[in-house]
Amino acid sequence: MDSTAHSFVDNAHRALHDAKLQHSLGRFKEGFPVKRRAAVDRMPEFDALREAAREIKDHAIANLDLYLERFTERAEANGTRVHWCTDAEAARQRVLEICRDSGARTVAKGKSMIGEEIGINEFLEAEGIRPVETDLGEYIIQLRHEPPSHIIAPAVHLSKDQVADAFRSHHRDYPETRPLEEPEVMLAEARAVLRQEFLAAELGITGANMLVAETGSVVLVTNEGNGDLTQTLPRVQIVIASLEKVVPTLEDATTILRVLARSATGQDLSVYTTFTTGPRRGGDLDGPSEVHVLLLDNGRTEMLGNEFREMLRCIRCGACINHCPIYAAIGGHAYGWVYSGPMGAVLIPNLIGIEEAGNLPNASTLCGRCEEVCPMQIPLPRMLRQLRDRQYRARNSPAAVRYGLSGWAFLARRPALYRLAMSLGVGGLGRIGRLKRNGGRFRRLPFADGWTGTRDLPAPAGKTFQQMWSERGGRRQ
């Protein structure tokens, strides 16, 4: 997929002034965090599970070569064909070859972030093969020619009216004037349309939530059951998975499953968790005759060797996104590429370069909620700071940041001047802010439109930290 991450500032600006998007985001904030909290409260051992899950991923990543070799050996023993792909182009070409060999014209697709990463849909369309997304959210955004705005809720930025419009303009076999106000009605229509696509597809493509080295199995999790129809009905099945998906054993996969859905949607478990091991066997009445697994590097081995190795623990639950105040303000599209929120702000610069996506790590208040809710305890704020540092060193930071930091450095090296400037600024703003008509907040402030345009700025306390510290005699209270 083409990136617009370089114009993040403009993207974010547009998002803040998009009334429909803001309406959808308002609803979003109330949903996932509340459900996750309830699920965690119902599981007293949640923190112990997190620790165990983290240990599993650290161990698997530290032995990635050995586990991938074992996975491959077991998968091939069960009749799966394993393909190693160094980058997105290699993966696209391999998918195309398999499609050509099987004569596939229509491809059913389960939601796959790796599929988004390698832009498989656009690529197949250009080659005359028709991919049909089957996850309801992915299907809706495919009709609208949009990328997903959230890794687990791809159409979360849309209202039901926008969904109805998309159905009206694409489902031409249905009467133009049919009622489409209720989500139930829209779902029934999408189910009927997509059922025919499932039955027609010669080939199915899904992602993978995990790969199990012990057995050579692919683990796939969905709520709709679209992943299972995709990997059961077509004659040929392709799984695209990045390298870090491999875990040692079925028990290890089980532990991770216990934290995945709770962190994502607040369910104890997603409705369908499926362990698939190879193609149809003797006597089987259904299932694909051919199963291919693509193991994709696409930047992972580089992260394995640098300070972002811990990011490879990510299981794509979306908890960091669901709890991010920046995401809640601008939604996912502003990030400009496949991923979004804190995990996106770390992953995107690593996968497509700091030159293209250097601004994303600045899209954070470093409030720390992302790390707090991450089931894998990935130190996202630390990584965001490291990327900011990298961007600064590459002299890629915005001019305002560079000059601002130089100005601050000038003052900070001159203590008397620093104290004077601070007491004037903080004291003055504090006094104005506490005026009755302001009520402790600024609705507008000159030179700070970027902040006050969409939110209030709390007025400073009126005294600097240093003043308060010396009033207390330099002691903690």
Partner 1 sequence: MSDARETILGSIRRALDRREPADVAAAAVAARLTNPKANVIPERGRSQGTDALERFVFEAERVNATTERVADLASVPERVRAYLQAANLPAVVKVAPDPDLAAIPWDREPLLQIATGKADDHDAVSLTGSFAGVAESGTLVLLSGPESPTTLNFLPDYHVAILFVDRIVGSYEDTWARLRARAGAGVMPRVVNWITGPSRTADIEQTLLLGAHGPRRLHIILVDGASSSAETS
Of residues 72-91, which lie at the interface with partner 1 (CB under 8 A)?
A: 72, 74, 78, 83-86, 90
Where in 128-157 is the site for partner 1 (CB under 8 A)?
Answer: 134-137, 140, 153-156
Q: Is 199 in the site for partner 1 (CB under 8 A)?
A: yes
Beta strands 81-85 and 290-296 are parallel
* Binder of partner 1 out of 63, 386, 396, 467 (CB under 8 A): 63
Among 102, 121, 217, 340, binds partner 1 (CB under 8 A): 217
| CA 373 to chain centroid | 14
Which one, 258 or 323, has the nearer CB to partner 1?
258
Q: Closest separation between CB of residue 38 and partner 1, Å?
A: 12
The CA radius of gyration of the chain, in Å to the nearest whole number, is: 25
Shorter beta-carbon distance to partner 1: residue 23 or 105:
23
**Residue 78 C-beta: closest distance to partner 1, Å:** 7
CB under 8 A: which stretch of 188-196, 358-366, 411-419, 439-447 binds partner 1?
188-196
CB of 283 to partner 1, least distance (A): 4
Rounded to whole angstroms, the Cα distance separating 383 from 387 reads 6
Distance (Å) of CA 26 to CA 72, 148, 357: 45, 18, 27
Q: Are 98 and 238 within 8 A, CB to CB?
A: yes
Examine residue 70 and tell whether it contacts partner 1 (CB under 8 A). yes
Of the residues 22, 301, 377, 386, which one makes contact with partner 1 according to CB under 8 A: 301
- For partner 1, the closer CB: 25 or 363: 25
3-state secondary structure (DSSP) of residue 237: strand
Neighbouring residues of 394: CB distance < 8 A, sequence distance ≥ 6: 354, 355, 358
**What stretch of H or E contains 444?**
none
Q: Which stretch binds partner 1 (CB under 8 A): 46-54, 374-382, 407-415, 454-462?
A: 46-54
Binding of residue 22 to partner 1 (CB under 8 A): no
**49 contributes a contact to partner 1 by CB under 8 A:** yes
**63-96 burial, b if ≥16 CB within 10 A, otherwise e?**
ebeebbebbbebbeeeebebbebeebebbbebbb
List Cα–Cα distances, 109 to 124, 136, 234, 254, 291, in angstroms: 12, 11, 11, 25, 14
Q: Is 284 in the site for partner 1 (CB under 8 A)?
A: yes
Q: Select from 59-67, 373-381, 395-403, 408-416 the region that touches partner 1 (CB under 8 A).
A: 59-67
Quote the tokens at residue 427: 């004291």
User: Among 113, 187, 99, which Cα is nearest to 151's?
Assistant: 113
DSSP 306: S
Q: Which of 131, 147, 207, 248 binds partner 1 (CB under 8 A)?
A: 248
Q: Which of 128, 175, 179, 305 binds partner 1 (CB under 8 A)?
A: 305
Min separation Cβ 161 and partner 1, Å: 10
From 168-176, 214-222, 417-425, 430-438, span contacting partner 1 (CB under 8 A): 214-222
Return the SS3 of 308. coil
Site for partner 1 in 307-366 (CB under 8 A): 309
Query: 135 or 363: whose CB is closer to partner 1?
Result: 135
Structural tokens at position 314: 């990510």
426-445 residues near partner 1, rule: CB under 8 A: none
Residue 295 within binding range of partner 1, rule CB under 8 A: yes
Structure tokens at 203: 């080939």
Under the binding rule (CB under 8 A), the answer on residue 286 touching partner 1 is yes
> Does position 229 bind partner 1 by CB under 8 A?
yes
Stretch touching partner 1 by CB under 8 A, among 122-130, 281-289, 336-344, 355-363: 281-289
Cα separation of 342 and 373, whole Å? 12
Site size for partner 1, by CB under 8 A? 103
Task: Choose the stretch contacting partner 1; rule: CB under 8 A; options: 50-58, 171-179, 343-351, 406-414.
Answer: 50-58
**Cβ count near 213 (within 10 Å):** 25
By CB under 8 A, name the one of 11, 237, 263, 274 that touches partner 1.
274
Structure-token pair, residue 67: 């586990």
- Identify the sign of the CA torsion 284, 285, 287, 289: positive
Q: Which of 247, 209, 206 lies closest to 227, judged by CA?
A: 206
Q: Which of 41, 145, 176, 285 binds partner 1 (CB under 8 A)?
A: 285
Q: Does 159 bind partner 1 (CB under 8 A)?
A: yes
Q: What residue type is 215 in one-letter code?
A: T
